[in-house]
Amino acid sequence: MSRGFRDEDVTQAMTDKAIGDTISKVLERDAEQEARSADRRAHGDAGLCEDCGRPIGAERLAALPKSTRCVRCQSAWEQANR
Ligand SMILES: [Zn+2]
């Protein structure tokens, strides 16, 4: 029963929790994005950027059908929401 072992366990537990939090955040975001994309399809707005209103490139939609922003707005959004 050395103190060192306990500390390692705590560190490991914290790391596991941090990884779990990150994963659930990513999954949550993905689910949100899915819902938003479905909502925009329902309103006939699919294919238009939700920020600037310009058409999202066909290539981007083919690669990422759930996209609701054009490349420029998406990268701005990701910078702001990191
Ligand atoms: Zn845009």
pTM above 0.75, yes or no: no
Query: Rounded to whole angstroms, how far apart are CA atoms 45 and 38?
Result: 10
- Span from the CA of 43 to the centroid of ligand 1 (angstroms): 18
Radius of gyration from C-alpha coordinates of the chain: 19
Which parts of the chain have pLDDT scores under 50?
none
pLDDT of residue 28: 93
C-alpha to C-alpha distance for 20 and 48, rounded to whole angstroms:
34
- What's the 34 CA to ligand 1 centre distance in angstroms? 18
pLDDT at site 4: 63
Q: What region, left, alpha or beta, does residue 53 occupy, with left being phi > 0 and alpha being psi -120 to 50 degrees?
A: left
Instruction: Output the CA 40–ligand 1 centroid distance in Å.
Output: 14
What is 3-80's CATH number, 2.60.40.2700, 3.30.9.10, 1.10.3720.10, 1.20.120.910?
A: 1.20.120.910
C-alpha dihedral, 77 to 43 to 41 to 37, nearest 10°: 30
